[in-house]
C-alpha cells in the first residue's frame, strides 16, 4: 500500500561514491556520483524493522540546480571548493543518477581535500536537498522520493552516515503520528460500535 505524504521540511543528506581524476595538467579534478536512482537505502531501524528510501529516476527532472556548490562535509565554515555558477562544477543527470565533476579552486583547503581524496581517506559523496513530493509504501517500509525541490550542494564526505536529527528523527516522528492517528481511529470505531450495540440491545428489550 502506497500513501502520499506531505512535503517534508528541512534539508536531507544522501551518500554515494567519490573518485579522484588526475589529469595531465595536474588540475585538481574529482568525479563521483552524488545521487543514485532506484537503490534502496536504509535510513534507520525501529522495532526490529528496517526503513528504506529510494530516489526515483524522475526526482531530479524539475529540481532547482542552477546554483550548486561543492563542499567538504557540507561545512559552511569552509570556502566553496567549486560552483556550477562559473562552470567549475558540472552536474550531469543520467539513467543511474547524478554525476559530479568538480575542478577544485586553487586554495589551500581544496588542496588539502584533494590530497585526502587521492589518499583514499575521503571516498564518499553526499548531496543536500529538499523534497517536494514523496510517498510511503507501508508493505516494504520504503519512502519513494518522487520530486526533489532544490539541490543546495554536493560534498566530499569522510563519514557517510545519515544525520539522525534531520532525517531519521523526522521520519520516526511521521510514523509515530500515523500510528497514533490509527489508534485514535480504532478507538473511535470501537466507541461507535459500543454505542450501536447498546442501542440495538435497548431496542430488543422493548
pLDDT per position as a tens digit, 130-185: 999 999 898 998 989 999 999 999 998 887 644 433 344 455 556 656 666 666 77
Q: What is the pLDDT of residue 124?
A: 85
90-96: long-range contacts (C-beta < 8 A, 24 or more apart)? Answer: 91/34, 91/65, 91/151, 91/154, 93/60, 95/37, 95/57, 96/33, 96/36, 96/37
Average pLDDT over residues 105-126: 90
* 162/24: higher pLDDT: 24
Q: What is the pLDDT of residues 54-95, one digit of tens each?
A: 999 999 999 999 999 999 988 899 999 999 999 999 999 999
Q: What is the pLDDT of residues 183-194, one digit of tens each?
A: 677 677 666 566
Binned at pLDDT 50, 70 and 90, residue 27 comes out as: confident
> Model-level pTM?
0.70
Q: Which grid cell sits at 66?
A: 542552477
* 18/60: higher pLDDT: 60
**Domain residue ranges of the chain, discontinuous segments joined by +:** 2-163
Average pLDDT over residues 21-25: 58
Q: Which grid cell sits at 27?
A: 588540475
Amino acid at each position: 500500500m502506497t500513501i502520499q505524504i506531505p512535503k517534508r521540511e528541512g534539508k536531507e543528506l544522501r551518500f554515494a561514491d567519490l573518485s579522484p581524476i588526475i589529469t595531465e595538467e595536474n588540475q585538481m579534478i574529482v568525479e563521483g556520483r552524488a545521487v543514485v536512482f532506484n537503490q534502496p537505502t536504509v535510513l534507520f531501524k525501529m522495532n526490529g524493522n528496517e526503513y528504506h528510501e529510494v530516489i526515483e529516476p524522475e526526482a531530479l527532472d524539475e529540481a532547482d540546480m542552477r546554483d550548486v556548490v561543492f563542499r567538504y562535509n557540507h561545512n559552511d565554515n569552509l570556502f566553496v571548493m567549486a560552483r556550477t555558477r562559473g562552470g567549475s562544477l558540472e552536474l550531469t543527470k543520467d539513467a543511474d543518477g547524478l554525476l559530479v565533476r568538480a575542478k577544485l579552486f586553487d586554495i589551500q583547503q581544496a588542496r588539502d581535500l584533494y590530497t585526502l581524496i587521492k589518499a583514499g581517506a575521503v571516498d564518499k559523496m553526499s548531496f543536500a536537498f529538499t523534497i517536494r513530493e514523496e510517498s510511503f509504501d507501508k508493505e516494504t517500509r520504503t519512502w519513494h522520493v518522487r520530486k526533489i525541490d532544490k539541490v543546495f550542494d554536493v560534498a566530499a564526505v569522510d563519514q557517510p552516515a545519515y544525520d539522525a536529527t534531520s532525517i531519521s528523527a523526522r521520519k520516526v516522528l511521521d510514523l509515530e503520528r500515523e500510528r497514533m492517528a490509527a489508534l485514535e481511529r480504532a478507538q473511535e470505531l470501537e466507541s461507535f460500535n459500543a454505542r450501536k450495540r447498546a442501542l440495538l440491545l435497548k431496542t430488543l428489550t422493548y
